[in-house]
Structure 1
Amino acid sequence: MKEMPVTIKRSIELLGLFLIGAIIVIGKIIIMPLLMSFFISIILLPVYRFFRKHKFPDVLAVILPILLVIIVIALIIWLFYNQTSFLLHDYSKIEKNITTHLNALSLWISRVFDFSPTEQLKFIRDQSNKFFSYAASILSGAAGSATGILLFFGLLPIYTYLLIMNRNIFMKFILMCFEPKEHTNIKDVMQQIEKMGKKYLLGLLIQLCYITILLWAILAIFGIKHALLIGIIFAFLNLIPYLGALIGNILGVLITLASSESVVDILFVLGAITVVQFLDNNILMPRIVGSQVKLNPLISIIGIFIAGTLTGISGMFLALPVIAVLKIIFDRTEQFKKWGVLLGDEKPAKPMHFPGYPLTKKISS
């Protein structure tokens, strides 16, 4: 049989990617909690095995770790709500500070750009009308969004319970889909995915704790108000790679502007965030996560944007672990090994010289 032309092969691959994206968009309300539950179940497996080792019933050994996660999440939500309440309690002072900063900004714009306060107010009024009309269209679907959020978090414990309870069934199904000679490789892939997921996600939880504590401590030393709230917000947003840190910086500055009349406090906040990020990126996180996740930064950023566009914030959180899982699978599959190279950050010294590459002539530099 004549081999299919390369152009047709690539067209079929692109069509397959498009169909996968369409399926994700259409079924994201089911797929995203299932993916999140998959990674949560990886974290909870050692706890489950601990309970089973101590003769706990199978059902109880699954439910107890899930309840532990629910309690931790409830405590985090309570802490965030508590800190937000402290911020809103100073509403009159926040209003005064914002007015002071806006007046100073208005005078600066008038002096530098010759744009009078009257013209500025007209511009703000026009833009506000556009914003509120846009916000109204977004809020019209708020009920649906709220339902989606409740469904997402409602499905998480159910999916996690079923994934842990029926993990052997799923494993047997996967093995039956392949020839017996591939079973050793598949088991190795599953072990690597579990190892990577456990170490990476536990690393993120540890990162969440130490960023919150470090940032809170540094800002508290400099007397910044609502230091704990800034630390919590930045730590959670930092879980979204690359983009979260930028948004966290902006929100930290806005909270500081609202709670302080001094512009110097903004410099303290930005400086503290920079120090914490430096420690996190260069010292703490590499030691915690180690070499489990080595991904191409460009592919990671593109993946985060695509995941966010297709599935929203939950996709942005899960983009890197999903890409890491795909890399593990691709690296151990001969047909897709080239995609594993693309997803990784290993830079070959001589990209045209490696086993299997049909180099026919010397390429001049």
Structure 2
Amino acid sequence: MNYKNDLPLTVRRSIEVMGVFFLGWIIVLGRDLLAPLLMAFFLSIMLLPLYRFFRKNKFPETVAIGTTLLALVLVVGLVVWFFSFQIRNLIADFPVIQANVTQHLLSLSAWVEEISPVSTEEQTSFISEQSSRILGYLGDMLSGAALSITGMFVFLGLVPIYIFLLLFYKNLLLRFVFFWFPEDQHDNVEETMREMEVIIKSYLFGLLIQVTYMTVLLGGILMIIGIKHALLIGVIFAFLNLIPYVGALLGNIIGVLLTLASSSELWPILTVLGVIAGVQFLDNNILMPRIVGSKVKINALATIVGVIVGGEIAGVIGMFLSLPIIAVLKVIFDRTSKFKQWAILLGDERPSESPMHEPALREDNEGVERQLEEENDIEPTRKRGR
């Protein structure tokens, strides 16, 4: 074996791994700065069509950006108002909810007493002890919660400022990007950025449409059946469903808890779970693939790891941003020969044969790539940069 020839490749791979480590470290240290900046970046991409419409109609640049931001604020305000209205109705039903929860606890206590030697008095004592501990934990968490609320206000204050500045300085930022690459690669860089814009817009607009029809479909069906707080269940599940895998589970749990608290019977819980399962099947297999398309597919392993890492770094916002960030990285890595292995790791172009038995799968071959894209129902990528 010629170690002299292998050394540069080994060193390069080691530098790449170290670069990933230090990049992750920088992201963790600067998450308070990066989270609102990344959110503003994706929202500014989504707002570009509206901004271009105003500019096309001879609006001054600052007026076009301000009007675009105003439209975003109005949409967010309507969502907040809807949530507030639904929560107000839930609070108004609090006495009924308390009575139903007590009834369910008594039924559960009687069932536990039948199948175990633990008496009702012992259960009550255990619940009282655990309640005292929980209250103690809540007291310790109050300061942290206050900091979280303060951080949320800072986040919401920074996002519109970042959006304004990103739109205002977009030409300067684009020039900065082109200066990083030699002139013979500028066509490939331009094509990559245009593809990134299309993917981000299709993904985010798809999520917006998904939230709308999930709220209307799920909330409407539950309302027709007669489930209380149907719209609140629908909108909570629709927003949580934006977080891959984890969000759907949390949405089911919250839907069950809201139904359990607002009903003295158990049949509505099964109804809610059945309707959620049906709507989610319709969303995952029919509606969402047609809306978002199949330009970029991320494998389930990369998605789950990305969601968990994003949640650890920036909470719920990080979980939401994880998938579009991975999709953008996949597009960039697909366009380069140096980082092609990372694109393979993130993508869903799963070969039917093992590379151990098919040597062609071990190489960066465009013919093999096209075949894998056809087998996995992925839209063909454009010519990759080398």
Structures share a fold, TM > 0.5? yes
Which residue of the partner structure matches residue 194 of structure 1? 197
In structure 2, the CA distance between the partners of 1:114 and 1:346, relative to structure 1 (3 Å rule), is same
Contact kept? 1:257, 1:263, Cα under 8 Å: yes
Provide the C-alpha distance between the structure 2 equivalents of 1:133 and 1:3, rounded to a whole number of angstroms: 59
Contact kept? 1:200, 1:293, Cα under 8 Å: no
Which residue of the partner structure matches residue 354 of structure 1? 360
Which residue of the partner structure matches residue 83 of structure 1? 86
Which residue of the partner structure matches residue 362 of structure 1? none
Which residue of the partner structure matches residue 222 of structure 1? 225
Map 1:49-198 onto structure 2 (within 5 A).
49-198=52-201
Shift of 1:127: 2.4
Equivalent position amino acid for 1:80 in 2: F
Map 1:239-318 onto structure 2 (within 5 A).
239-318=242-321
Write out per-residue CA displacement over residues 44-91 of structure 1, whole angstroms, 9 at most, x where no aligned residue.
111111111111111111111111111111111111111111111011
Which residue of the partner structure matches residue 376 of structure 2? none
Provide the C-alpha distance between the structure 2 equivalents of 1:111 and 1:356, rounded to a whole number of angstroms: 62
Q: CA RMSD in A?
A: 1.7
In structure 2, the CA distance between the partners of 1:62 and 1:183, relative to structure 1 (3 Å rule), is same
Contact kept? 1:211, 1:235, Cα under 8 Å: yes
SS in 2 for 1:141: helix
Which residue of the partner structure matches residue 34 of structure 2? 31
Give the count of matched residue pairs.
Answer: 358
Provide the C-alpha distance between the structure 2 equivalents of 1:132 and 1:10, rounded to a whole number of angstroms: 51
TM-score by length of 1: 0.94
Provide the C-alpha distance between the structure 2 equivalents of 1:10 and 1:122, rounded to a whole number of angstroms: 59
Provide the C-alpha distance between the structure 1 equivalents of 2:95 and 2:146, rounded to a whole number of angstroms: 31
Write out per-residue CA displacement over residues 340-362 of structure 1, whole angstroms, 9 at most, x where no aligned residue.
0111111123334327739xxxx
Provide the C-alpha distance between the structure 1 equivalents of 2:177 and 2:221, rounded to a whole number of angstroms: 50
Contact kept? 1:34, 1:159, Cα under 8 Å: yes
Identity %: 52
| Higher RCO, 1 vs 2 (CA within 8 Å, ≥6 residues apart) | 1
SS in 2 for 1:68: helix
- Structure 1 stretches of at least 4 aligned residues deviating more than 6 Å after TM superposition: none
Contact kept? 1:189, 1:329, Cα under 8 Å: yes
TM-score by length of 2: 0.89
Gaps of 5+ in 2: 365-386
Equivalent position amino acid for 2:105 in 1: L
Shift of 1:208: 0.3
In structure 2, the CA distance between the partners of 1:130 and 1:176, relative to structure 1 (3 Å rule), is same
Equivalent position amino acid for 1:85 in 2: R
Contact kept? 1:24, 1:311, Cα under 8 Å: no
SS in 2 for 1:308: helix
Which residue of the partner structure matches residue 380 of structure 2? none
Shift of 1:181: 1.4
